């Protein structure tokens, strides 16, 4: 790995370290270390779920993060088929220190009182957050975006983050996946914010005419960019027609059902014979992964905390979404980055 890639990994680890502390705090609140300590031997996901009162969907994501970081161990039961129940979870020397009669209370104190600490909570998880379970009492999925209306300062900071991330992610896409843009005359960047990403792509591949597509209030603040047209709209209603549509860091914010809706709108916007949808997002590898896996899992915890039903997805979960949305095939290109590039064809 070169120096720049190594630095990219380290900064993600540092920035997402806060997520790690929040997940450990949540694990203690749920009583995961105590449940395992009190159980006679390793536990399956369903046994853990019953012991702590947390749905298996969100608990699987929590345990995926914690085992990757060495808090617990995951062992394969060879006598069962390859599903979530084919794994056992067991204690480590570290997790044994996180029980309520040892260092667990100290970690909770370091996180601060509940009124001041942000991130995942045991209460949220027990109610079904992050599990994929349909909860009629759950708030609308766009509550995360609506909160910016009452906190303009945070919205400005968030926009700065999105612009910075767009530069980093788009640079990786240009360097590692230039062939993905061959033959594209018109490209729509859905949810492109102020157009940083599409502007970089048009400059790198000058044969492309770019369309930056986002909500009216976002487009209103966008500055002119050579080769890029700013278009206001709503991706849940329609997407501008083009040879190809790009979704960069969009779909992980939304539930499977809404992702399918978005993908169908994108599919309607491209030619049935030559079009494609380019998805730039993380792909979780549960079988080992690479040097970016820890950052991807930490981002999954952040997404679980910040959104209602968003999540980072495995390659199988991406394939299922694309199949339901009506795409006939797709390819995956991994990069030296937290994201990968999926190209989906009608």
Provide the residue ranges of all domains of the chain, joining segments of one domain with +.
3-134, 145-345
Strands 209-214 vs 340-345: parallel, antiparallel or unpaired: unpaired
pLDDT score for 145: 56
Whether 193 sits among the annotated catalytic residues: the reply is no
Where do runs of H (alpha helix) occur along 177-292? 196-204, 216-219, 256-269
Predicted confidence at residue 22, as pLDDT, reads: 82
Walk along the chain (346 residues) and give the pLDDT tens digit of each residue. 567 667 766 776 666 666 677 888 999 999 999 999 999 889 999 999 999 999 999 999 999 999 998 999 998 876 655 666 778 999 999 999 999 999 989 888 876 666 555 567 888 888 887 777 655 445 566 555 555 566 677 777 777 888 888 999 999 999 999 999 999 999 999 999 999 999 999 999 999 999 999 999 899 999 999 999 999 999 999 999 999 999 999 999 999 999 999 999 999 999 999 999 999 999 999 887 788 898 899 899 988 888 888 999 999 999 999 999 999 999 999 998 999 999 999 9
Both tokens assigned to 35: 């449940």
**Rounded-to-integer distance, Cα 292 and Cα 340, Å:** 11
Cβ neighbours for 176, distance < 8 A, ≥ 6 positions apart: 333, 335, 336, 337, 341
What is the sign, positive or negative, of the torsion defined by CA atoms of 282, 286, 287, 290? positive
pTM for the predicted model, two decimal places: 0.88
Out of 193, 230, 252, 330, which one is annotated catalytic? 252
Q: Considering only the top CATH level, what class is 145-345? A: alpha beta
Architecture of the domain delimited by 3-134: Orthogonal Bundle (1.10)
Could you tell me the CA-to-CA distances from 42 to 48, 82, 241, 287 in Å, in that order? 10, 17, 54, 20
């Amino acid at each position: 790995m070169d120096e720049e890639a190594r630095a990219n990994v380290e900064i993600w680890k540092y920035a997402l370290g806060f997520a790690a502390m929040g997940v450990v705090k949540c694990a203690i609140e749920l009583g995961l270390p105590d449940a395992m300590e009190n159980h006679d031997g390793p536990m399956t996901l369903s046994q853990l779920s019953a012991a702590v009162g947390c749905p298996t969907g969100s608990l699987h994501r929590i345990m995926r993060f914690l085992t990757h970081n060495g808090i617990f161990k995951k062992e394969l039961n060879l006598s069962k088929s390859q599903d979530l129940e084919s794994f056992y979870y067991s204690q480590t020397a570290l997790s044994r220190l996180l029980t309520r009669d040892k260092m667990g209370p100290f970690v909770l104190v370091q996180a601060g009182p509940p009124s001041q600490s942000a991130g995942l909570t045991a209460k949220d998880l027990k109610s079904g957050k992050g599990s994929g379970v349909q909860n009629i009492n759950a708030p609308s999925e766009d509550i995360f975006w609506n909160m910016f209306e009452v906190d303009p300062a945070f919205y400005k900071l968030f926009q700065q983050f999105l612009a910075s991330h767009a530069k980093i992610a788009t640079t990786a896409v240009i360097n590692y996946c230039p062939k993905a843009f061959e033959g594209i005359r018109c490209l729509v960047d859905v949810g492109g914010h102020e157009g940083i990403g599409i502007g970089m792509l048009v400059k790198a591949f000058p044969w492309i005419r770019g369309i930056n597509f986002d909500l009216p209030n976002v487009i209103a603040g966008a500055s002119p960019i050579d080769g890029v047209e700013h278009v206001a709209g709503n991706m849940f209603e329609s997407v501008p027609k083009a040879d190809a549509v790009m979704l960069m860091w969009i779909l992980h914010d939304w539930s499977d059902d809404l992702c399918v809706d978005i993908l169908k709108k994108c599919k309607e916007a491209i030619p049935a014979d030559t079009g494609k949808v380019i998805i730039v997002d993380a792909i979780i590898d549960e079988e080992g992964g690479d040097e970016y896996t820890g950052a991807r899992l930490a981002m999954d915890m952040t997404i679980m905390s910040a959104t209602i039903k968003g999540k980072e997805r495995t390659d199988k979960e991406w394939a299922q979404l694309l199949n339901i949305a009506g795409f006939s095939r797709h390819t995956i290109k991994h990069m030296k980055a937290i994201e990968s590039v999926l190209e989906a064809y009608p």
